[in-house]
Structure 1
Amino acid sequence: MERPRPRRLGHRHQAPLQRPPPRLGHPPEGRRITTEPQRLPVPAPGPGEPAPAGTEFTDDVLAKLAELEERSAQHEIDLRPRNTVDGYAADWKQWTQFCALLDLPVTAITPGSLTAFVEWLWMQPG
């Protein structure tokens, strides 16, 4: 049986050739590694907290920023379907009930507490 002949590179029905991924530990071609220290961004103040020094804004800018914050919060809400949000709330309610039964804080999340929670869920009616 005769083997099929390989296609020529650059054939019009063939995907274009791509560069291989860069080797680990080496910068991509044409780029250099800098040793400048990275600076972490200053965390944004919480609602009602004053902005850090040097970031005083006019009332107009503050109003625009408040509107953007509201839009951002609504966008976050719109990302999840209502039934998913309801499901999360029901799951949280069950977790808090389980933690109350064992006198555990709700933040006591370990492999053992999660296993016990799943076993407890199996025993619940319904």
Structure 2
Amino acid sequence: MNGTKPAPILDQKHVTDYLANSYQRREELAQQMSAAGETPFIVFFEDIYNQPAEVGKALLLRLFTFLDIDPADHSEYDALVNDALFNRGQKTSSVLEKVPNIEELRAKLDTLSNGFDKVFIPS
């Protein structure tokens, strides 16, 4: 979808069922991690890409530190991170704005999300 054609109306039940299923899977994953004694580093795509670049870069650095990856060992680290933050991404927001019923869906998802426990809190 390149923005020249309107997006279809999204089926509200399908979207809300998908969200509910996602929360259930997150809960199952959290239980498995806890049972294994593991503490995950939680990062969401939006926390990297929907922030000012410096915030995204700082979060990536924290993630790499958690993974024991030293950016200094990678000569192209800065160029790759800058390319990822400035030239890549899903561009979801520009597509979503073309969905005719997006505001109705956002309101419904916000209401539904408030009914779920926060399983994963960003690190």
Considering the TM-score relative to the shorter chain, is it more than 0.5? no
Q: TM-score, normalised by structure 2?
A: 0.29
Q: Whose RCO is larger (CA < 8 A, sep 6+)? A: 2
Structure index of larger Rg? 1
